[in-house]
Amino acid sequence: MLLSCTGVRKTFGDHVVLDDLSLEVAEHEVVALIGASGSGKSTLLRCVNLLTGIEDGIIRLDGEEITNPKINPDLVRQRIGLVFQSYNLFPHMTVLDNITLAPTRVHKRAAAEAREQAMHWLERVGLADKARAFPDGLSGGQQQRVAIVRALVNNPRLLLLDEVTSALDPELVGEVLTMIRDLKGEGMTMVLATHEMGFAKQVADRVAFLDAGRVLEHGPPDQVLGDPTEARTRQFLSRII
Ligand code: ADP
Ligand code: MG
């Protein structure tokens, strides 16, 4: 397994957010996380990226226990890209500088190599002509695609996407979803939290429904979204569709 979460427990004070949660993701697999607001989707992605610690359980990446306190989290984060709902681009920096900031400063990689990688990705997603533009000169969809490129520039093993289309105007959602679909076509392993059931159905190999801090059920999209086993899943789907 490329990613394996076993018995993960995460609490905020008395509030148990992830409770004995287990999830496995194979290489090249795309898993959509669905569940009510507050069910812990974002928290799970943040735990995988080591932005927050867990109280119990083990998270492994390529078989390596990344939740081991002896592991350097910066090195793990180079292997895992995370993109949030809000694009978080620096407004005073060009697109190219936004993308190369992390590789050149944090990872001390040669600036020239980072720029080359960045241009390569921008070309692949059709944004090469925006390299010198500032974020406010781009549409929301273009900004979010740049944020995804920024997460790709280290050539991560795993890409985590947290509701990346939620902040976009409806007409801009499509270009971001197309980019995610293209990444899937290139074999990128992804875990994406989403409210877009239609998209989950199209792009995900597997859908995992989070409820009460655990993965209540998971399976192929047609099964989980079309014919769920659990009453809680049916209830959730009937409320949102
Ligand atoms: P989702 O992404 O599925 O909407 P979240 O992971 O954001 O859910 O939140 C899960 C629960 O954890 C919510 O009840 C939320 O209020 C709580 N939570 C998330 N982050 C924090 C935090 N930093 N401090 C306290 N509670 C938090
Ligand atoms: Mg969330």
Residue 107 pLDDT > 80: no
Whether ipTM exceeds 0.90: yes
pLDDT of residue 109: 64
pLDDT of residue 101: 86
Name the average pLDDT for the chain.
93
> Could you identify the atom of ligand 1 that is nearest to the CA of residue 210?
3
- What residues contact 183, with CB distance under 8 A and at least 6 apart? 148, 152, 159, 190
Q: Is the CB of 213 under 6 A from ligand 1?
A: no
CA-nearest residue for atom 1, ligand 1, is 38
Query: Is the Cβ–Cβ distance between 228 and 212 less than 8 Å?
Result: no
> Could you identify the atom of ligand 1 that is nearest to the CA of residue 33?
3
Q: Where are the alpha helices (DSSP H) in the chain?
A: 41-48, 73-78, 95-101, 111-124, 140-152, 170-185, 197-203, 221-226, 231-240
Query: Is the Cβ–Cβ distance between 210 and 22 less than 8 Å?
Result: no
In the 8-state DSSP scheme, what is residue 163? Answer: S
Vertex 79: Cα angle to 119 and 159 (nearest 5): 75
Residue 104 pLDDT > 90: no
What separation in angstroms does the CA of 6 have from each of 35, 121, 135, 173? 19, 33, 39, 33
CA–centroid distance, 40 to ligand 1, in Å, is 6
pLDDT of residue 111: 80
Q: What is the pLDDT of residues 111-151, one digit of tens each?
A: 888 889 899 999 988 999 999 999 999 999 999 999 999 99
What is the secondary structure of 26-47 as a DSSP string? Answer: -TT-EEEEE--TTSSHHHHHHH
pLDDT of residue 106: 60
pTM for the whole structure: 0.94
The strand pairing partners of 23, in sequence order, are: 5
The strand pairing partners of 161, in sequence order, are: 83, 192
The burial of 34, by beta-carbon neighbours within 10 Å (0-12 exposed, 13-18 middle, 19 or more buried), is given as buried
Q: What is the pLDDT of residues 155-198, one digit of tens each?
A: 899 999 999 999 898 888 999 999 999 999 999 999 999 999 99
Q: Is the CB of 194 under 6 A from ligand 1?
A: no
- Alpha carbons 133 and 76: distance in angstroms, whole number: 30
